[in-house]
Amino acid sequence: MLDRRRSRLGGPNPGTIAVLLGALALALQAGGLWRPETARAAGTFDIKKVEPSVYKIFATPKGTSGTGFLVSGKRTVITNFHVVQNNNEFVIIYRQGRDVQVVPARVIGVKPHLDLAVLRTDRDLPGTAVRLADFEPEKLTGIVAVGYPAAADDAVKGRPTSVPELIQRLRDPAALDPTVTTGIVSRMTSAESTTLNARTVQHNAAINPGNSGGPLFDQCANVVGVNTLVALNSQGLFFSIHSGEVLRVLREYGIEFASARGPCIAAAAEAPRSMTLPLLIGMSTMLALAALLLAVRSGARLGGIGPYVGQITRLRRHQRALPGGRPAPAAGVGPAMALQPEAGGHPLRLAAGGQVLLGRGGQCEFVIDDDTVSATHARLEVDAQARTMLVNDLGSSNGTFLNGARIVSARAQAGDTLRFGAAEFRLAAESAAGAAVRAAGAGWLLSGQDAAGRPLRFELRPPRGNGADAGARWTFGRDGGRADFVIDDSSVSGAHAEIAYLPSQGLLVRDLGSTNGTKVNGKALDHRAVALGDAHEIALGAARLRVSRLA
């Protein structure tokens, strides 16, 4: 039988493990046996993979040229509103081998204040739908702008005014080759004017007329923006509409999309080799050996590393917790069970008879933002009669564990510990009465006042299905075209904050890059979501709201 005290108290000092791993990594990297690029392949941008999803757009009668990219299925494309404005015929153009393909398109939706338009074709397009960033890129994030700038195509022959004239020019194989420019993110900002009211990415990747509507990628091929603006008389100052605005438009129109929930960890540049390389290898190797000897003398064993890795991973997950996933399916009122994170945070609740997928991917109902958790890690199902949870591992990389033992399929009961990779939870039971009270809740009331003292009152009522609440999201802001709930206050941004209800996680709020910020109980929010509870106070700029439960 395993001595639990020994497994917790024995093993190496955490500092020793850190030195050992760091020294070994440095030695291997210096020797060319391991490099950061291969440690995170997603951080390597491959233009050849995304180019087929980017197209030239031509609109008449004005002869407007722009760029668009595939966002859903094989026929739905995003571009700028000003590309389609005052035009009534649109074509999407791309090259297939040496042949130029021209596909008619129609506009299915526009958002002038966001400078966004959605096009659809009746014929499949090449490429695959891009992945849209559901996060804000950090400063200095490497970015790549892809598009068809008119200056590059028309420098010699002038601007075409008809589709046949354009096609004639594009018969040259080199004439329909997208331009690629690179740069970094300078900052996130909000453009609020009479014509544009959107969250934007300021960067220094050169974009020109014709680039309009093209994608701005990060180093993991996530689209973080739609290329839109060039600041006049400002060298190296360019703007793109943030991808979050695209996501809101697609959600509004009920269009499916792929998204990335966390920022890209870009591949590090290869370390330069110099005459000091042999010295670096020697010093790194000696340091690694010294750390290894120290670990052995301390009674270290390989298994002893696990608890410390778990502690570090749980801390990182707690700091970066994000809402996500599809709403958990309701299964009626009855005894429920909840997974309470050992690192703290909102429990993940599953109703009696309910079945959910748990993992890191957006296709899961229970999403865990942890690199040790597989995209689709496990399936969970509550047995109401036995008051147990059936846990099935779905071939995860780092395993599923019940009370410390790795399992493929097992039943867990209240008080048991479940671990998915390094993410650890304690299983708790909820009474039938408690589940009934939870399911009967009608929603939340946000009440308060704006900066002028005018009363504010908003009711959040999640849609109901199968006898229980479903997930919902509400946007708060000053712009009625972007916000579900409008606060007419100059301190409130056009789209200021979003409140989401996820049955598995409760009520959460996140700032949408507002000018004057969002606070919960006096604490300013960054881009991450924060849990809300009864009597919590929310500040949107100078507007104040208090959360209470509706009867």
Q: Which residues contact 365 (CB under 8 A, 6 or more apart)?
A: 325, 326, 327, 328, 329, 356, 357, 358, 504
Listed in order, strand segments (DSSP E) in 212-359 are 215-218, 222-230, 238-242, 258-260, 336-341, 348-350, 355-359
| pLDDT recorded at residue 195 | 78
Q: For the residues 61-86, what does the mean pLDDT come to?
A: 94
Per-residue DSSP letters for 408-440? Answer: SEEEE-TT-EEEETTEEEEEEEE-HHHHHHHHH
Identify which has the larger pLDDT, 268 or 186: 186
- What's the whole-number mean pLDDT along residues 348-357? 74
197-217 mean pLDDT? 90
Q: Can you read off the two tokens belonging to residue 166?
A: 């354009």
Per cent of the chain over pLDDT 90 is: 33
Average pLDDT score over the chain: 76
pLDDT at 514 (0 to 100) = 87
**What pLDDT does 80 receive?**
96
**pLDDT digit string (tens) for 158-203?**
666 677 777 777 766 666 888 999 999 999 988 777 778 888 999 9
**Predicted local distance difference test score (pLDDT) of residue 328:** 40
- Residue 23 is predicted with a pLDDT of 54
Sign, Cα dihedral of 181, 185, 190, 193 = negative
**The pLDDT value given to residue 417:** 92
Q: What sign does the dihedral 46-47-49-50 (CA atoms) show?
A: positive
Residue 439 confidence (pLDDT) above 80:
no
- Tell me the C-alpha distance between 497 and 92, whole Å: 35
Burial state string for 358-395 with b = 16 or more CB within 10 A and e = fewer than 16 = bbbbeebbbbbbbebbbebbbbbbbebeeebbebebee
pLDDT computed for residue 78 by the predictor:
98
Longest Cα–Cα distance in the chain: 82
Q: What is the pLDDT of residues 11-24, one digit of tens each?
A: 455 555 555 555 55
What number is the average pLDDT over the span 471-489? 89
pLDDT given at position 252: 85
The helix-helix angle for 277-297 and 14-30 (nearest 10°) equals 150
pLDDT score at 401: 95
Instruction: List 456's β-bridge partners, or say none.
Output: 448
Specify the range with the lowest mean pLDDT, choosing from 191-195, 278-282, 398-402.
278-282
Mean pLDDT of the region 279-285: 58
pLDDT, position 313: 31
- pLDDT exceeds cutoff 80 at 424: yes
Task: Give the SS3 label for residue 269.
Answer: coil
Element at 449 (helix H, strand E): strand 443-449
Q: What is the percent of the chain where pLDDT is above 70?
A: 68
pTM of the complete model beyond 0.85: no
Pick the closest to residue 353 from 435, 292, 278, 415 (CA basis).
435
Assess contact for 255 and 362: CB atoms under 8 A.
Answer: no
State how far the Cα of 301 lies from the Cα of 313, in Å rounded to an integer: 20
Name the DSSP letter for residue 130.
Answer: P
For the chain, domains (ranges, CATH) are 4-40+275-319 (no CATH), 47-260 (2.40.10.120), 336-435 (2.60.200.20), 441-550 (2.60.200.20)
What is the band of 301 on the pLDDT scale with cuts at 50, 70, 90?
A: very low
